[in-house]
Structure formats: C-alpha cells, structure tokens
Structure 1
Amino acid sequence: MTGTVQSSTAQPGTLTIRPGTDADLPTLARIMSEVQPAHPWTPETLAHELRVLREHPKRPHYTDWIAEQDGEAVAVASVLQFPGMFHPERYHAELMVRPTARGQGVGTRLAAVLEEHLRARGAQEVLAGAYEDQPEALAFLTRRGFTEAMRFFDNVLDLDTFDAAAWAGQGALPDGVRLVTLAALEQELGQEAARRAYHAGFAEAREDVPRTGEATPLTFEDFQKRFEGPTMFPEGIQLAVTAEGEVVGLSELWRAEGNPARLNTGLTGTRRAWRRRGLALALKLAALRVAREEGAKEVWTGNATTNAPMLALNDRLGFRPRPAFVEFKWGGV
C-alpha cells in the first residue's frame, strides 16, 4: 500500500478515533475503495498483504486507526514500513476520508494521531501522497511540510480499441530465447525450479525500477508469498527464457479482484545484459494476447513519470495516462 492522503480541515461533530483490528479489514477495504475507486481493495487482499508484512524478516511496522462519527466509520489511517523499500526510520502514511465526511475536520484529527505516533517511533522520513487531481489533499500535505518526491501514472489500455493486427509480425525474440508462461514453465521444470528462475530474473529487473528509495533485496522465501495472493495469475506471467533456462525478461498480468473485465500489469522488465533487444515489446504483446483471450476489456499499468523508455513503449501500444499519483516526502534517511 502506498501512502495516500484524502482529507479536510473544518471542525468535526462527535468523532472517535480508535486503533483498528483485523476484524476491521472489511471496513478498511470499503473506505479505501470508496476513496480511490480506480484501485479497489477487498478484505481478502488486505489480509494477504498484512500477513506478508507480519511475516517479513525485516519485521516492518504496521498500525491503523478507524475514525467513527456517531458510530459510523468515516475514515481510516495507517502507518507502515514498506518491505520493498525498507529502512528502519522510513515510514509510509495513509489517510482516507469518505467523501460524505469531508469538510468536518476528520482528516485533521486523524493526521494529529499519525503525527504523534510517528514522533514516538522516531521517524526520520515519511512518505505519503495523493493524486494530482486532488488539490485539497496535495495542499494538506504541503501545509505539513511534505514536498513532492516523484510522480506515477496509471496507464490504461482499452482492449476494444487495441489494433492487434497492426502489431502482427512484430515483437520477435532474440535468437536462443523463447517465450513461455510461468504456468507452462512450472509444468516443464517443476514448481520450485521454475519459480527460482522467475525470481532470479524478477529480482534483478526490479532493482532498476524508479522509486523514492533504494530497493530492499528480495529473498526467494519472501517472493514465494506472491503466489498465495488472491490475484495471482500464473498463465498471465510471460517469461523470456534462454536455452539454459535463465529468465532474462518478464511481464506480469494480475487479476483485478471483483472485476473480470480488468487485468493489472505487475513488473515488466529485463535483466541488464538483455536490454535494448526488443524483449519488453515481445513480452508486452504476448501479455496483451492473453488479456484478449481472457475477455478483459482493460489492462492497467503504473509507471513513474521518469521512466521514459517504458512510458514510450506503453504509449506506442495505446496505453493512455490517467492523473498521476504524487508521492510526497517529509524528512529523509
């Protein structure tokens, strides 16, 4: 979960703020989905993500709160340490207020709770954010001393308008490389061998993905937990594999829980020695063929606005950017 702020500044009515529990996951999922409908959550997905956090060897911190007005949940907030970019003094903050509860000071009260908690933990860096078409949320962060660090586009491809015929014959692979899905590779090599090859390619490719801090090394044991999530789609994971069995490129599709018409792109990347040889295009085209076969109507992906090569490729394929998520930072480590 990335840091998010949706808030307001007027005085509230009767408001109570309490720590959340696992029993509140349906409430968190409902409010998070209401505030950011483009990125909905389910209790099952939240439960999986929390279990991954709690079992991670870095022991990242996580806590959340529920704001209730006259007994009704109107806002949620959380503080966590993201395992993929871990530093013991870096935290991510989320704060989301339902649209019907804005303008009543709920966000201000919750922000005070978050700030007190972060001070008590000795936080030296806090990351949070909002979308660029949410000026009140951006101003809320700015007033609290946050400054912009990076922007990330949602890029969306409408498969009804994607001209597959225009790409016929393109996306050839280099000699000695074949395209195979993760599901097929598991059948060929066995599950563990296939996943270890996938992990090796993934771990190197992700190191160069733009982010606001250094990537934490990804162990195979932690990587394995990805396969336990409710949106895992092995047939949608395209791998470029050499004759020696090395995964040198990949493009991932994940299911969008509760929306069979949408697929989400995970990582698309190649190992450093294999870049600028057409692998990304071949992998993306293969993934889009799978998406069409699955009956999906849209494919979503996220890209840092500084990732010019991937943005250019997605633009060629017909992906179109939505408002960018603006990540803000306070302090530094």
Structure 2
Amino acid sequence: MTMIVRDVRAGDQADADGFVRVRRLALPFMVSTPESLVHDLTRTHPAARYRPLVAEVDGEIVGTAQVGLVPESPEPGQGYLNVYVHPGWLRRGAGSLLTRAAEKHLTTEGATRVFSWVLDEPDNRAFAERRGYRASRSAHFLRLDLAHGTLPPLPDLPPGVELRTAADFAADPRPLFELDAQGASDEPSDIDVAFTDYAAWLDETWNHPLLSLELTSVVLVDGRPAALSAAHTDGATRYSSAMTTTDRAFRGRGLAKLAKTASLHRARAAGCTEAYTGNDAGNGPMLAINTWFGYEICATEVRYVRELG
C-alpha cells in the first residue's frame, strides 16, 4: 500500500466525486457537490492560490485538504487549510501527509499564519496541537428537520416591507453584494475581511452552483434591500444557510428572522427535508434566531492557528 498526496485534477470527474464523498463522510453537516468543487477549483480568485489536495491509496481517495490564502483580508499572509479524512482511514497517515503538503504550499505562497477548522473531538484536537496549532474560537453546526419539524408561520408584513427572492435581482445583483459584504465584515472571526471586488463576488459567489436564487430571500424596506438570507442546496433534499444578514441601518427590527423564515418555507415547499447552518459560538443573536426556528447543534468545530516560520 502506497499513499500519495496530489492535486485535484481539473476536469476529472472521478476526482470530484471522490473528494466530495470523503467530505460528506467526514463532515456530513456541510452541503457539497462535485459541481461545487469544480467551481471552486476553476473560479476562485487567483490571488487565493487555492489548491485542493487529495490523499490517495491505490487509486482510492481517502483524504482531502482545502488550502489557500485569504485575499479579502487587509492583513497579508493569512492562510487556511482544512483537512478531512475518510472515517475508515483515520490514524493511517493521510492527515499528516496532507497537512505537510498544505503547509509547504502556503509557505511558498507567502503565508505567515495558517488557520484550520478542527472538529471538537479529542483525537482531532490532539492531532492539531501536536503540530504546533493553538486553539482559538469555536463554531457550531446546527440541523433543522424540515420534513417533520414545524416552521413558524410567515408574519404579516409591516407597511413598506416586501419579500422578494434573489432571482428578482438577476439583472443587477449589486445591492445583494453590498449586503453580503457588510454581513461578512461583521461576522465574528479570527480574520478580518473586506469584500470590495464585485466582479470576483459575481464569479465566486453569485454564480456558485450551490446558490439557489429562488430560495434566497431578500427583505425590502421602502424599496431598499435591507436583509438577506442566502440559500445553498445540493439540488435534492439538503439545504444550507450561506449568509443571513441585515443592513446595519435596519437592525433590531426582526428582518433577518423574516428573511430566513421565508427562505425555509420556500425550501420545504421545494422538497428540502433537512436544513443546516453554522454559527460562531459567540454570535448570540444568530444562535438565538436559529434556536427559535428549532435548529439543534449537531457538531462543534474549533478554529486552530499556527504561525508559519
């Protein structure tokens, strides 16, 4: 048995299928598809130096790594690597090989600090700490049973408030870019980000194959987009919240809750049976909203960081 680490081959369907299969087994709380992997591989901004890797044994993909820089950070040299190994191949060297290859790539590309999400389990945390990583913040995955749960009803809309979908902005999505950028900059994180490249957002986010324009809800106040709940789906039964945010000028009025309520109702009507989301453990307002919907925590990750010499 020989284990190797190599790049994902663009255009190779077996690579895309194998990468996603491992991700789903190791991290079933995130929605991913082969099409989304190909999109990320081919459309991520070149400044990110994005490089997905796989560990392979006799033609079988047994581990994956997502590796790159964060070009949206005003502080240069911020990198990330997220390693996931097939549950049947744990403690057999795949994670170590992937981590070494990823760190080498990041160092070559000028990274001075690397961040990694690690499932909050003793073996996973010990793996990170043996390699010089230190724990930082934590975040939760949450799940909602759309098939059997009870969603809160859509409330009557106050005067001046409208509900739309992202599809209504297909001709000019810039107002949604501005909402998304503001929400991303306000989210609790170890890395500050500032989304200013509209063309890159269109390419990477708006045209992402997971994004459902029909299930993404937008709340307008007096004709102005004020809140957004972006929806990802696998095209079948799984739904994931990609971003829920409210313009700072309209916060405290329940608009994020309204947007997400509308999106979840649309998702259930479209045949989605389970909904996932993720929240920083310190994001009390959004955790409260998701608890109100009936989401339950199904896993926790810890953000680890290491300084690269």
TMscore range, shorter length: 0.7 to 0.9
Residue aligning to 2:249:
273
The verdict on how the C-alpha distance between 1:70 and 1:86 changes in structure 2, with shifts beyond 3 A counting, is farther
Gaps of 5+ in 1: 1-12
Task: Name the stretch that deviates more: 109-118 or 308-317.
Answer: 109-118
Say if 2:185 is the partner of 1:207: yes
- Can you list the C-alpha shifts for 1:60-106, whole angstroms capped at 9, x where unaligned? 11234433334443333342114454753111113233223223233
Mapping 1:144-223, distance limit 5 Å: 144-164=131-151, 167-168=152-153, 171-183=155-167, 185-186=168-169, 191-193=170-172, 195-223=173-201
Say if 2:35 is the partner of 1:44: yes
Aligned match for 2:126, one of 124, 133, 139: 139
CA distance in 1, matches of 2:87, 2:118: 15
The verdict on how the C-alpha distance between 1:268 and 1:66 changes in structure 2, with shifts beyond 3 A counting, is closer
Aligned match for 1:238, one of 197, 200, 217: 217
Percent of aligned pairs with the same amino acid: 29
The verdict on how the C-alpha distance between 1:145 and 1:241 changes in structure 2, with shifts beyond 3 A counting, is same
Runs of 4+ in 1 over 6 A off after TM superposition: none
The alpha carbon displacement at 1:268 in A equals 1.0
Residues 171, 278 of structure 1: 8 Å contact kept: no
Say if 2:202 is the partner of 1:224: yes
Say if 2:22 is the partner of 1:31: yes
The verdict on how the C-alpha distance between 1:26 and 1:82 changes in structure 2, with shifts beyond 3 A counting, is farther
Residues 156, 299 of structure 1: 8 Å contact kept: yes
- Can you list the C-alpha shifts for 1:267-318, whole angstroms capped at 9, x where unaligned? 1111111000121222222122212211222221111111001111111121
The alpha carbon displacement at 1:171 in A equals 4.0
The verdict on how the C-alpha distance between 1:288 and 1:15 changes in structure 2, with shifts beyond 3 A counting, is closer
Q: Which amino acid is the alignment partner of residue 241 of structure 1?
A: L
**TM-score, structure 2 normalization:** 0.88
Give the RMSD, CA atoms, in angstroms. 2.4
CA distance in 2, matches of 1:148, 1:125: 13
CA distance in 2, matches of 1:98, 1:217: 34
CA distance in 1, matches of 2:271, 2:8: 38
CA distance in 1, matches of 2:8, 2:286: 39
SS of the residue 2:22 aligns to? helix
Q: Which amino acid is the alignment partner of residue 79 of structure 2?
A: Y
Mapping 1:56-71, distance limit 5 Å: 56=45, 59-71=47-59
Mapping 1:254-293, distance limit 5 Å: 254-257=232-235, 260-293=236-269
Mapping 1:110-129, distance limit 5 Å: 110-129=98-117
**TM-score, structure 1 normalization:** 0.82
Q: Which amino acid is the alignment partner of residue 115 of structure 1?
A: E
The alpha carbon displacement at 1:141 in A equals 0.4
The alpha carbon displacement at 1:107 in A equals 2.6
Residues 112, 307 of structure 2: 8 Å contact kept: yes
SS of the residue 2:171 aligns to? helix
The alpha carbon displacement at 1:264 in A equals 1.0
Residues 18, 66 of structure 1: 8 Å contact kept: yes
Residues 31, 76 of structure 1: 8 Å contact kept: yes
Residues 31, 75 of structure 1: 8 Å contact kept: yes
Residues 262, 299 of structure 1: 8 Å contact kept: yes
CA distance in 2, matches of 1:116, 1:81: 13
CA distance in 2, matches of 1:319, 1:107: 31
Larger Rg: 1
SS of the residue 1:250 aligns to? strand
CA distance in 2, matches of 1:326, 1:85: 20
